Structure 1
Amino acid sequence: MSQPVRNVLIIGGGPAGYTAAIYASRAGLQPLLLEGPQPGGQLTITTDIENFPGFRDGIAGPELMATMRAQAERFGTEILTATVASADLSARPFAVETDQGRILAETVILATGASAKWLGLGKDESLSRTGGGVSACATCDGFFFRGREVAVVGGGDTALEEALYLTRFASRVHLVHRRDAFRASKAMQERALAHEKITIHWNKRVADLHTWKTAVAGGEQERLEGLLLEDTRDQSISRLSVQGLFVAIGHQPNTGFLNGQLPVDEGGYLKVEPGTCRTIIEGVFAAGDVADPTYRQAVTAAGRGCMAAIEAERWLAEREALAAAGGR
Structure 2
Amino acid sequence: MIRLHLLGSVRLLDGDGRDIRAVLQQPKRLALLAFLAAARPRGPQRRDTLTGMFWGESDEASARKSLSQAIYFLRQKIHPDLFEGRFAEEIALRPGEVWCDVVEFEALLDAGRTADALALYTGELMPGFHISEAPEWEKWLDTERDRLRNRAFEAAWALAEQEEQAGHSGSAAHWARWAAALSPFDEQAHRRVLELLVRTGDRAGALRTHEEFARRLATEYEVEPSAETAALVEAIRRDAGGETDAMVEKAAQGLARRELPGDAGRHIAALAGLGEAAAGAHPAPPDHTAVATLHGQSQADATASRSGLRAVFRPTGGRQTKRMSLRRGSAAILLALVL
Higher strand share: 1
Which has the higher Rg, Structure 1 or Structure 2?
Answer: 2
Higher helix share: 2
* Structure with bigger RCO (C-alpha 8 Å, 6+ apart): 1
Give TM-score, length-normalised by structure 2: 0.24
Give TM-score, length-normalised by structure 1: 0.25
